[in-house]
């Protein structure tokens, strides 16, 4: 399936490793044309500004340009374990989890998926040391 798609939409685990792994897989799946697009969902609840910036820089290093961000694009009814986690992180319960949609387009004729880390064992490992499901 490498190089077979013009558009890839992915909603990976909201960890840095999950984002980078799915970004890499999406990059491999895309046709190498400037008209291709990759859409990647990310929750700012679980990914801090430094992590988001690191993911954007990694995408740029691999040959992408961030074309746009649609904040709170996705709205999910949070399952009980996520409601509990939101309460612990933000101090108040919320019934919904939101994620933003990052739109990337190739900026070069050569995309380099090998420049992105490949660590599938860490996709549910948050940087604060907790493990998600």
Report pLDDT for 103. Answer: 97
Alpha-carbon distance of 101 to 68, in angstroms, equals: 8
Across the chain, where does the E strand assignment appear? 7-10, 37-42, 64-77, 96-106
Q: Comparing 8-17, 34-43, 120-129, which segment has the lowest mean pLDDT? A: 120-129
Mean pLDDT of the residues in the chain: 81
pLDDT value for 133: 46
The CA-atom distances, in angstroms, between 103 and each of 7, 38, 52, 92 are 10, 6, 13, 31
Q: Hey, which of 15-19, 24-28, 36-40, 108-112 has the most confident mean pLDDT?
A: 36-40
Q: What's the predicted TM-score (pTM) here?
A: 0.78
Which has more pLDDT, 129 or 6? 6
Confidence of residue 129 (pLDDT cuts 50, 70, 90): very low
């Amino acid at each position: 399936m490498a190089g077979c798609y013009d558009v890839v939409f992915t909603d990976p685990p909201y960890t840095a490793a999950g984002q980078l792994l799915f970004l890499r897989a999406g990059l491999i799946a895309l046709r190498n044309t400037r008209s291709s697009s990759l859409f990647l969902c990310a929750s700012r609840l679980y990914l801090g500004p430094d992590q988001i910036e690191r993911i954007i820089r990694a995408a740029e290093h691999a040959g992408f340009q961030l074309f746009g961000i649609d904040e709170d694009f996705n709205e999910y009814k949070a399952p009980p374990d996520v409601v509990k986690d939101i309460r612990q992180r933000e101090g108040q319960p919320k019934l919904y989890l939101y994620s933003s949609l990052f739109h990337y387009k190739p900026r070069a004729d050569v995309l380099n998926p090998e420049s992105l880390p490949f660590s599938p064992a860490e996709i549910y490992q948050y940087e604060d040391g907790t493990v998600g499901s």
